Chains A and B, each alone.
Chain A
């Protein structure tokens, strides 16, 4: 099983819609989780951190389900500017160093 798995998409939704995607991870000891956003031809940038059950920031909500080992990202009232690739990151707790990224979920918001 891959350490981090994401649905690659693409998700194509109308402006104003709510969209959610998941990321599953294999290491049950992982403590901290991140969602990154990557625009075309740009570097990934941190969107949200998740350290306990979840985190909310405006239209964005990240939730953690430890029992099923997945994190989710929910985007409400989606905007055209939300179109990007969203990367999930689950640092392995057993290693002090290595960070592995999911392959990303492409989101496209249409007018």
Chain B
């Protein structure tokens, strides 16, 4: 069974704090993704990575950065948390989409509240 594990299920942080969200997958997937999900807005892609040390901006990268030092781990960093970053954060991993069976597998999500 594919496992994508996010470090925290619930997190409460103060405005201005630097926040790290960690994601680890055990399927040797090349691709990893960070999304945020808000009511009425669906899943929005923040950043993705298709290889170690490689990253690409998604649709809403402002206020976020990422790190992929090892293939299995993809970290999302909120440089200075703000209240509008209160959201559900979902990590996913997959094989490249050019390969059959490239569906994405999700972690359980981190519900972040910034106060």
Contacts and interface: CB of A to CB of B under 8 A. Distances in A.
B98 A93 contact: yes
Contact of B106 (A44, A93, A95, A103): A44
B90 A43 contact: yes
Interface residues of B, number: 28
B103 A97 contact: no
Interface in B11-70: 31, 33, 35, 41-43, 45, 48-50, 56, 58
Given A91-B97, A92-B97, A99 B33 contact: yes
Q: Interface residues of A toward B: which range?
A: 20 to 34
A89 B50 contact: no
B43 A97 contact: no
A103 B41 CA distance: 7
Interface in A86-111: 87, 89, 91-93, 95-104
Contacts of A45: 106
A28 interface: no
B16 to A, nearest CB: 28
Interface in A49-71: 49, 51
Interface of B: 31, 33, 35, 41-43, 45, 48-50, 56, 58, 90, 92, 94, 96-98, 100-109
22 contacts: A34-B103, A42-B108, A42-B109, A43-B106, A43-B108, A43-B109, A44-B106, A87-B42, A91-B97, A92-B97, A93-B97, A95-B97, A96-B50, A96-B97, A97-B49, A97-B50, A98-B48, A98-B56, A99-B45, A99-B48, A99-B97, A104-B42
